[in-house]
Amino acid sequence: MNRTSKLFWPVIVTPKDAVVKSTEITSRSQKLMLELGLIKSSNNGTFQILPLAQKALDKCIALVNKHMTAIDAQKISLPVLTSSGLWKKTGRLDQGVGEFYLVKDRHGKEHLLSPTHEEAVTSMLASAAPISYKQLPLRLYQIGPKFRDELKTRFGLLRAKEFIMKDLYTFDRNLEEAQKTYEEVSEAYLSFFKKLDVPFVKVVASTGIMGGSVSHEYHFVSRTGEDRIFQCEACTYSSNEEASGEIRKCPKCQSSIEETRGIEIGHTFLLQDKYSKPLGATFLQANGKPQNLSMGCYGIGISRLLAASLEVKSTENELRWPKLLAPFDVCIISAKEGSKEQNASYSYEEELFNKLTKICDQDDIILDDRRHLTIGKRLMESKRMGYPVIVVIGSKILQSPPLVELYIDGQGRDVELNEVLREVNAYVMSKTQLMNEENSGDSNFNRILSYKQ
C-alpha cells in the first residue's frame, strides 16, 4: 500500500512572507518539479530523479516498450562508453566534438560518453556480419542514459547534460525496404504521442550531423519551445526553421504559413549506408554476395518528454499529467488525527481502498496518511501534485447517508461511496480506451494547427 508518510518527497516550502531571490528557473515544469519534490538539482545540467518522477518515467518507458514490441523491435543494452575510433571511421568525431564528453582510460585509449549509439550498434552488427538476408528487417532498441555537454543548460530536464533516451536502430536489405520501415516506425511514433494527449506536430527536419536522406522531428507545441515551427494553414505540411529557413508560403500549396514554437521530443532519420559502409556492416544476399545494410535511427527523449508534457499541460501552480503517466491515479485523504470523525473516516478509508483495488491497480492508489496535518493542507498539496482523482473523507462522513468530497481534475463535489467507485471506474476505462486507441493519422494534425497555448 502506497502511503504519503513513507514517500521520499522533499517538497520545497517557501515561507509566506519570504522574499524570493532571482533564480535560473525559467520554465513552469522546472519550477514545479523542483518545488514538488519530483527532481533535485545535482550539478549544473544534471538532476536526480526522485520517486514520483521515476514512477511516471517507468510508465512512459512501459508505453514505449509496448509500441516498440508492436513493430517487432528487440530490446538491447549497449555500453555508455563508445570507442572514439568508431566515430573517427564515420567522420562524426570532428563534426560536433564540442558537445561530446571525451574520456581516457588508464591505457590512454579515448572513449565517448555516448550522446547516441549509431556507431556502437553498427559495429556490433559488423562483428556478426555477414548476416543472412532472411534475418532482415532487424530492429534493435535500447532505453538508457545519454550525455551531451550542452553549452547552456536550462529548463530543467528540457535541456540537461544527462538524459534518458529511447533509441531504435533498424537494418534492411535496401533503401526501398528501409523506407517502408521508416513509415512503419513513424506510424508507431504517431500512435505513441497521440496517447499522451499533448498537442504535438511532426515536422520535416534537417539530417544535420546524423546524416542520411530523410529526417523528421516531433514537437510538443509550447511557447517555452526553443524551435520555430512552420505549419501550413491549408495542408499538413510543417517544417522546422533549420530545414526550411524563414518561409511565408507553403512550398507544397502556396498557402499561408503559421508559426508556432515547439519542444522537440522525438527525431527520426533514414540513414541508408552512412554508418554501415565505413564500419563494414553487411548481409548476405540471396545470391550469396555481401551488401551494406540500409539503416534508420529513431529517438525519443524520455526524460525530456516527461518534463515537456508537464510544461504544456500544467498551470503555473499545479501539475497536470498525461493520463497514462500520472504517478498515482487516486489519492485518498482521511480525517485529521483527534477529530470527531476520525474513527468513521479511517473505517471508510479501508473500505474504499479495498473496493478501489477491484477497479484499478493497487499501485495507482496512494493514501495521504499524514494525519497530523489538516485536510486542507493535504488537499492543497494533492491538487498541486495533480492527482487526477482525490477523495477527501472529512466531517460529512458522519451524515446519513455518509458523504465524501470527490475532486476530479481539481473540480470537487460531495458524493456517496458508489459515486466514487463509478467515477474511478470511468476514469480507468478512459485510460484503457486511450491505451487501445488506434492511430488516426493526419486527423491529429488538424487539431494541432488550431491549438493556442
From first to last of the 453 residues of the chain, give the pLDDT tens digit. Answer: 899 999 999 988 766 665 555 556 679 999 999 999 999 999 888 999 999 999 999 999 999 999 999 999 999 999 999 999 999 999 988 876 678 899 999 999 999 999 999 999 999 999 987 899 999 999 999 999 999 998 888 899 999 999 999 999 999 999 999 999 999 999 999 999 999 999 999 999 887 777 777 899 999 999 888 889 988 888 878 888 888 777 778 888 888 888 899 999 999 999 999 999 999 999 999 999 999 999 999 999 999 999 999 999 999 999 999 999 999 999 999 999 999 999 999 999 999 999 999 999 999 999 999 999 999 999 999 999 999 999 999 999 999 999 999 999 889 999 999 999 999 999 999 999 998 876 544 433 433 433 333
Would you give the DSSP letter of residue 119? H
Range of the domain at 343: 330-436
Q: Residue 280: what pLDDT? A: 95
Q: Residue 278: what pLDDT? A: 96
Give the list of residues 6+ apart from residue 54 with CB closer than 8 angstroms, or none: none
Task: Give the SS3 label for residue 131.
Answer: strand
175 & 281 share domain = yes
Residue 128: inside a domain = yes
Residue 378: inside a domain = yes
C-alpha cell recorded at residue 197: 494527449
372, burial (CB in 10 Å: exposed 0-12, middle 13-18, buried 19+) = exposed
167 & 277 share domain = yes
Give the list of residues 6+ apart from residue 224 with CB closer than 8 angstroms, or none: 27, 28, 29, 155, 158, 261, 263, 311
Gap between the Cα atoms of 249 and 74, Å rounded:
42
For residues 281 and 293, is the Cβ–Cβ distance under 8 A?
yes
291 & 362 share domain = no
C-alpha cell recorded at residue 345: 473516516
Residue 256: inside a domain = no
**Residue from 381, 389, 432 nearest 409 by CA:** 389
For residues 407 and 386, is the Cβ–Cβ distance under 8 A?
no
402 & 283 share domain = no
Q: Residue 245: what pLDDT? A: 77
Q: At what angle do helices 51-70 and 302-313 cross, to 10 degrees?
A: 110
279 & 412 share domain = no
Would you give the DSSP letter of residue 312? H
- Domain count for the chain, please give it: 2
Gap between the Cα atoms of 329 and 363, Å rounded:
9
Q: Residue 253: what pLDDT? A: 87
Gap between the Cα atoms of 342 and 399, Å rounded:
14
Q: Residue 21: what pLDDT? A: 58
The model carries a pTM of: 0.92
CATH of the domain at 138: 3.30.930.10
C-alpha cell recorded at residue 20: 524570493
Residue 44: inside a domain = no
Gap between the Cα atoms of 392 and 242, Å rounded:
51
Looking up cell 550542452 gives: 150
Q: Residue 442: what pLDDT? A: 43
Backbone φ, ψ for residue 327 (5° rounding): -60, -35
Would you give the DSSP letter of residue 210? G
**Residue from 69, 36, 72 nearest 53 by CA:** 36
149 & 275 share domain = yes
The C-alpha R_g of the chain, in whole angstroms, comes to 25
Gap between the Cα atoms of 92 and 210, Å rounded:
8
142 Cα distance to chain centroid: 15
**Residue from 367, 357, 362, 381 nearest 335 by CA:** 367
